[in-house]
Amino acid sequence: MTSAPFRLAPGGTVGIVGGGQLGRMAALAAARLGYRVHIFSPEPDSPAAQVAAAATVAAYTDPAALESFARAVDVVTFEFENIPADSVRRLAEIVPVRPSWTVLETAQDRIVEKRFFNGIGIATAPWRAVDGVAALEAALAEIGRPAVLKTARMGYDGKGQVRIDADTDAAAAWAALGKAPGGAAGSAILEGFIDFQGEISVVIARGGDGAWAAFDPAWNVHRHHILHTSTVPAPIPAATATAAIDIARRAAEALDVIGLLAVEMFVTPDGLLVNEMAPRPHNSGHWTIDACLTDQFEQFIRAVCGLPLGSPRRHSDAVMTNLIGDEAADWLDLLRDPEAHLHLYGKAEARPGRKMGHVTRLHRPGGGFDEATMI
Ligand SMILES: Nc1ncnc2c1ncn2[C@@H]1O[C@H](COP(=O)(O)OP(=O)(O)O)[C@@H](O)[C@H]1O
Ligand SMILES: [Mg+2]
């Protein structure tokens, strides 16, 4: 079946499922292009709803709320991918949903995701699906230690992960995982621990016409399993950057993504290994707001609405630093640097580990790394 390419003219309403900071920044980008945004989120006064024209506050599984949301918008996309299949199906019966369920389904489950990447010839850490202590012990015998045990679903910011060292008891590791979000389902993945040189990510946009545009790979440093900084350019050779973009493009094409795909990778002496992906704007792409001709949020809206993609060209070097928990309380000091770009997400309560905002500092292009500091 072929149909005319979908295009939503400015003035239309973009529905975004999820109410966090990614939805907030996407809503701001949509507003700049003349769209109205309607947020669907279980959280009242969510960061995204604060800047949107309309909001539905309801559970992701509420059929009546999903139906009236779908009827109130012209296209639906997601800033959060852990949406039940049935909810996405209900939405898609009424309104175009981009990206499609296949993409969300693949990104929701680490086992499906790894199988997908390996299936298109893209390397990952060695892994085994495990569903209990016996399977975990067998997988450890094959993969060896150290290793990382992760819940297959619902993990984020290092939640739902247990590192298994030489002396870690498999039964204890399995029990610890059971207490994490998604752990109760009993489906998990064991990954070999990668002694990487660093972590990078690529955010790629792809339109319904197959056109794509990728941002420069960002160099990501985590603290307490939460992204701390993203730096561009990444201190990697040009060939590695090209290979990373090629991986993101192949994945986006194989999944027929319409929207954004962010792919996280480990840089190793033997090449790149994909860690995970997300079919939406990504924390490691926030630097694009201040350092690129078109940022990830505008590119997301353009792709979802069937508009031509903008140029992802980077005009400055940049370092994006996340403000976690109390760190956003320093907003006045951060603003005292007149060249710092401060972004706050409107979250009332600064819980530990919560992403409250970010700050991006730009530098003259080419001022970053020289060959000697490269990986
Ligand atoms: N197999 C692995 N080997 C080494 N480090 C890992 C491995 N898997 C995850 N990590 C580390 O933990 C971080 C978070 O893991 P990730 O799978 O990206 O989960 P999430 O971002 O959903 O919490 C990664 O960015 C990386 O620093
Ligand atoms: Mg990750």
Following DSSP, what letter does each residue of 196-227 receive, concatenated?
Answer: -SEEEEEEEEE-TTS-EEEPPPEEEEEETTEE
pLDDT at 153: 94
Q: Beta strands 218-223 and 226-232: pairing type?
A: antiparallel
Residue (of 281, 231, 289, 246) closest to 261 by Cα position: 281
pLDDT at 117: 98
Per mean pLDDT, which range of 62-66, 190-194, 258-262, 367-371 is the poorest? 367-371
What residue ranges do the domains of the chain occupy? 13-97, 126-192, 198-373
Ligand 1: distance of its center to the CA of 298 in Å?
28
Answer yes or no: is pLDDT of 374 > 70.
no
Ligand 1 atom closest to residue 191's alpha carbon, by position in its atom list: 1
Q: Give the other-Cβ count within 10 Å of 138's Cβ.
A: 15
Answer yes or no: is pLDDT of 327 > 60.
yes
- Is the separation of the CB atoms in 25 and 46 below 8 Å? no
Share of the chain above pLDDT 90, in %: 91
H/E stretch holding 250: helix 238-254
Confidence band for 211, pLDDT divided at 50, 70 and 90 = very high
Ligand 1 atom closest to residue 192's alpha carbon, by position in its atom list: 1
pLDDT at 371: 57
Taking each helix axis as running N to C, give the angle between helix 21-32 and helix 296-305, from 0 to 180 degrees, rounded to the nearest 10.
70
Single-letter residue type at 1: M
The pLDDT of 53-76, averaged and rounded, is: 98
Q: Beta strands 188-192 and 226-232: pairing type?
A: unpaired
Q: Give the other-Cβ count within 10 Å of 312's Cβ.
A: 21
Q: Beta strands 317-324 and 218-223: pairing type?
A: unpaired
The residue with tokens 């290793």 is 147
Ligand 1: distance of its center to the CA of 140 in Å?
18
pLDDT at 186: 77
The pLDDT of 39-54, averaged and rounded, is: 98
Ligand 2: distance of its center to the CA of 353 in Å?
15
pLDDT at 217: 98
Ligand 1: list residues with CB < 6 Å.
Answer: 125, 148, 155-158, 191, 193-194, 199, 222, 225, 264, 275-276
What residues form the annotated binding site for ATP?
110, 150, 155-161, 191-194, 199, 222, 275-276
pLDDT at 158: 87
Ligand 2: distance of its center to the CA of 156 in Å?
7
Helix ranges (H only) for 81-132 are: 85-92, 101-108, 110-119
What CATH number does the domain located at 126-192 have? 3.30.1490.20
Sign of the CA dihedral 350, 355, 357, 361? positive
Ligand 1 atom closest to residue 110's alpha carbon, by position in its atom list: 17
Q: Which ligand is closest to the CA of 153, given by its number?
A: 1
Question: What is the rounded average pLDDT for all residues in the chain?
Answer: 95
What residues form the annotated binding site?
110, 150, 155-161, 191-194, 199, 222, 275-276
* 285 vs 314: CA distance, rounded Å: 12
Q: Give the other-Cβ count within 10 Å of 169's Cβ.
A: 11
Q: What is the pLDDT of residues 223-279, one digit of tens each?
A: 999 999 999 999 999 999 999 999 999 999 999 999 999 999 999 999 999 999 999
pLDDT at 375: 67
Ligand 1 atom closest to residue 222's alpha carbon, by position in its atom list: 27
Taking each helix axis as running N to C, give the angle between helix 238-254 and helix 110-119, from 0 to 180 degrees, rounded to the nearest 10.
110
Ligand 1 pocket check: which of 275, 284, 355 to mutate, most ligand atoms within 8 Å of Cβ? 275
> Prior bond to 10 cis, omega within 30?
no
Tell me which DSSP letter residue 316 carries.
S
- Is the separation of the CB atoms in 77 and 14 below 8 Å? yes
Could you give the 3-state DSSP secondary structure of residue 150?
strand
pLDDT at 270: 96
Q: Which ligand is closest to the CA of 150, given by its number?
A: 1
Q: What is the pLDDT of residues 294-309, one digit of tens each?
A: 999 999 999 999 999 9
**Any idea which fold 198-373 has?**
D-amino Acid Aminotransferase; Chain A, domain 1 (3.30.470)
* 232 vs 206: CA distance, rounded Å: 22
What CATH number does the domain located at 13-97 have? 3.40.50.20
Ligand 1 atom closest to residue 159's alpha carbon, by position in its atom list: 23
Tell me which DSSP letter residue 308 carries.
P
The residue with tokens 């201190």 is 235
The pLDDT of 149-178, averaged and rounded, is: 93
Which tokens is 287 given?
């630097």
